Amino acid sequence: MDNKPKLQANEVWKVLRLALPEEEHFPVDVKRVALEISKAKFSDPITEITACPLPGFEGMLARNQAGTKWMIAYNDKLESDGRIRFTLAHEFGHYLMHRSLREQFKCTQEDMHAWDSLERAIEAEADTFASFLLMPIDDFRHQVDGQKFSIDLLMHCTNRYGVSLTAAALKWRDISNGRVIVVAAKDGFLDWSCSNNAAYRSGAYFATKRDTVEVPEGSLLNSAVWTSGGQTGSIRASAWFSKEPDGMMIEEHAFVIEGKDYCYTLGVLLLPDVERSADEEDELLTPLSGGMSFR
């Protein structure tokens, strides 16, 4: 992926910083931003954003027949503000980056199996745009710099940016220098996983799209129950990754996410740094992480 989604989000932020006092920056009012920016900059603006029944879809961006305006719809069954905000930002991303490609985008949370590579690429771009619009990297760094990871810290970000805990965890993974893997576990298996560059380069990643990955026995992710503050523990690194040295421990953070139509355990795995030889790095495969979702 190129830098297009990040650059687009930066462009929007240049306008927001000029237009809004700092105390009104967060959480981003995506409805207002999408309506006003598209109206100010383009001849085919977004004129309507509405909740409506969209069975099986999170959101939709659609053009009128004359090609003069667009509307965003989000599923009226979405129950969390964070999910709605992320969906709107995702659709606004399609509008800014992809609207010349087609006249309608219908977006699901998962179900990536049928996607061809172009479809996958534009969905990933819309997600990246949404992440950078809602949580600009400089502000996010400012919130977390120098602090040890905790679910509390993540909750602070969730509240500031009005996003899901999972979206905040994925952002934290992006900016962390250490080895971080964010996973979603369901019924004892990983649903998806996402390693940051440092973890990936060291071979610490799961190919959840290719392989069935079982949560290791003794992992907190198998026993986590819902608590408002989540749970923290540690386990031998080799339980998750057989190549990690004996005696090394992984810090596990788990938070049970429960919604009307979804339930999973969000896990953040923190690994101590390691040195690896160039030979070992050559053995690495491309990571395949299935069905990741920011919502």
State the minimum distance, in angstroms, from the CB of residue 167 to Zn ion.
15
Site for Zn ion in 12-51 (CB under 5 A): none
Among the listed ranges 2-10, 64-72, 123-131, 160-168, the one in contact with Zn ion (CB under 5 A) is 123-131
Site for Zn ion in 99-118 (CB under 5 A): 107
> Which residues does 124 contact at the CB level (< 8 Å), separation at least 6?
1
Nearer to Zn ion, 19 or 101 (CB): 101
Binding mask 52-91 for Zn ion (x = CB under 5 A): ----------------------------------------
State the minimum distance, in angstroms, from the CB of residue 125 to Zn ion.
9
Count of residues near Zn ion by CB under 5 A: 3
* C-alpha–C-alpha distance, residues 108 and 105, integer Å: 10
Judged by CB under 5 A, does residue 130 bind Zn ion?
no
* C-alpha–C-alpha distance, residues 222 and 189, integer Å: 9
Nearer to Zn ion, 130 or 270 (CB): 130
Nearer to Zn ion, 119 or 281 (CB): 119
> Which residues does 102 contact at the CB level (< 8 Å), separation at least 6?
none
Residue carrying structure tokens 């069935």: 212
Nearer to Zn ion, 123 or 191 (CB): 123
Closest CA to 126 of 102, 172, 95, 103: 95
Nearer to Zn ion, 126 or 224 (CB): 126
Closest CA to 181 of 267, 289, 293: 267
Q: Which of 28, 88, 96, 126 binds Zn ion (CB under 5 A)?
A: 126
Judged by CB under 5 A, does residue 181 bind Zn ion?
no
State the minimum distance, in angstroms, from the CB of residue 258 to Zn ion.
25
State the minimum distance, in angstroms, from the CB of residue 111 to Zn ion.
12
Q: By the criterion CB under 5 A, which residues form the site for Zn ion?
A: 107, 123, 126
